[in-house]
Amino acid sequence: MSTVKEEIERRRTFGIVSHPDAGKTTLTEKLLLYGGAIQEAGAVKSNKIKKGATSDFMEIERQRGISVATSVMGFEYKGKKINILDTPGHQDFAEDTFRTLTAVDSVIVVIDVAKGVESQTEKLVEVCRMRDTPIIIFINKLDREGKDAYDLLDEVEEKLGLKVCPLSWPIGMGQDFQGVYNLWEKNLLLYTEQKKQKIAKSIKIENIEDPEIDNLVGSDSAETLREELELINGVYPNFDVEDYLSGKISPVFFGSALNNFGVQELLNCFVDIAPAPLPKLTEQRLVKPEENNFSGFIFKIHANMDPKHRDRLAFLKIVSGTFKRNTNYNHIRLGKSMKFSNPTAFMASKKSIVDEAFPGDIVGLHDTGNFRIGDTLTQGEDLEFSGIPSFSPEHFRFINNADPLKAKQLNKGVDQLMDEGVAQLFTLESNGRKIIGTVGALQYEVIQYRLEHEYGAKCTYESYQAFKACWIESNDAAQLEEFSKLKFRYLAKDKFDRLVFLADSSFSLQMAKDKFDKLKFHFKSEF
């Protein structure tokens, strides 16, 4: 029987982030493939039947080819328990990704060799840097023509503000791509074509001067490789695990996820250097994984994981202690005791019931409406985990029922989907009309699609002009009353009955702030 400390040590929980189309979902697939978690990758076009990628289990994702819900997958590799959190790359779902980043201990950033660093990647890496999250970079699609390797590294340093340290180096690129020299394991990976499927062949070469390299890639390429490696050693810092763990340097790997190239090398290095579960800050104190008492927080809620059973799953990240099935835990916000008879562990869309789970693990809890994003569960102590953001929406639309016979289904669907945190619901004080606010416009399509396919309800939207949603806090009853009279048309209540001012322009917001100086205007619902 392994001890709790050993279980914590062997956990690796990380997120994969990138701009859409950089190959993130493909990389996730290949990591699962090497971990033996799946038998074949989803992108394999066999007999013209395209299997959906394992991590994209929502129908709309399959159709649009983008990941819109973060999914969680666990597998065992070299004695380590690996938990991958795949995140949406599309910027309209950035909020989901920001929350997911609160639940990971390290991150792999995927960059497309042709496109380089893109805007969405910059935003997400900034969040990681604010938290000093250790980052590994995977430069993908080397079998296509792309930017020069040095230029890419410069771009990463400049745009992402990261200090890089290459642990592998490409030999050629696109048409001339021959392989990668792996500095971490000191071996040469050759890119060979067999039956149209390109595969990697690994050859152990301790010394870069070994003439064997000339035989394998040709003397010109071998010479170029030696010169470039010499330059790398001169320009970039030597790899130091401590510097990586504290977020000071980021190792870089090159490869092609679609062709299984360089992925296993990335995984081998990752299990060696990536951090085990880290301590996490609460409003009260720092919680360490090795503490005896259990604690964890909800970072995501997924309504309708299985349309046959109207179940919602709350995703719990375990921070300390051991989580056990059928044990009473304290729900801090509700102040009540709860126990869970069938907590689930994930393998993409396959789920299995777990009896116990350890720090670093993600567990799905069946939920009948008790959870909100950011809720804390503990073994008794009053703790609240901090830093799980909910953003002020930037798009607003009235939602109308398109089928009067399905009003009940619509209300239930909207209610449950809002709990996921994909969007926020506001009810106007003046006439009771419902407005949905989102961070990105694409979410309206997802909501409409899911209402119809999961709840049997149809909705239409009409535009509502608003600039920002502001949550109002007041210690001055008289001023609040005056404000409420003046701005009555623009006031709404959110799902939790908090007062929200839907400012129609930045000018009117500024005027309101100036005139009502005793009110506080918050752009986040947590204040």
pLDDT at 490: 92
Q: What is the mean pLDDT of each run of 10 residues along the chain (527 residues)?
A: 82 86 79 66 39 55 53 82 76 68 88 85 81 89 83 90 88 77 79 54 66 76 81 84 90 86 86 89 87 89 62 85 90 89 70 83 84 86 74 85 90 83 87 88 84 88 90 89 91 89 90 89 72
Residues contacting residue 99 through CB under 8 Å, at least 6 positions apart: 299, 300, 373, 388, 389, 421
pLDDT at 353: 80
- Quickly tell me which residue has 């033996």 as its tokens: 36
Closest C-alpha among 181, 172, 205, 177 to residue 191: 177
Domains and CATH numbers, the chain: 4-168+251-273 (3.40.50.300), 280-378 (3.40.50.300), 395-522 (3.30.70.3280)
pLDDT at 381: 85
Categorise residue 268: left if φ over 0, alpha if ψ from -120 to 50, beta otherwise. Answer: alpha
pLDDT at 185: 78
Q: Where are the extended beta strands (E) located within 205-257?
A: 249-254
The DSSP output letter for 176 is G
Dihedral sign, CA of 194, 189, 168, 107?
positive
Residues contacting residue 185 through CB under 8 Å, at least 6 positions apart: 204, 265, 268, 269
Alpha-carbon distances, residue 274 vs 77, 173, 246, 422 (angstroms): 13, 28, 11, 30
pLDDT at 19: 79
Q: Would you list the DSSP string of 89-130?
A: -SGGGHHHHHHHGGG-SEEEEEEETTTBS-HHHHHHHHHHHH
pLDDT at 205: 67
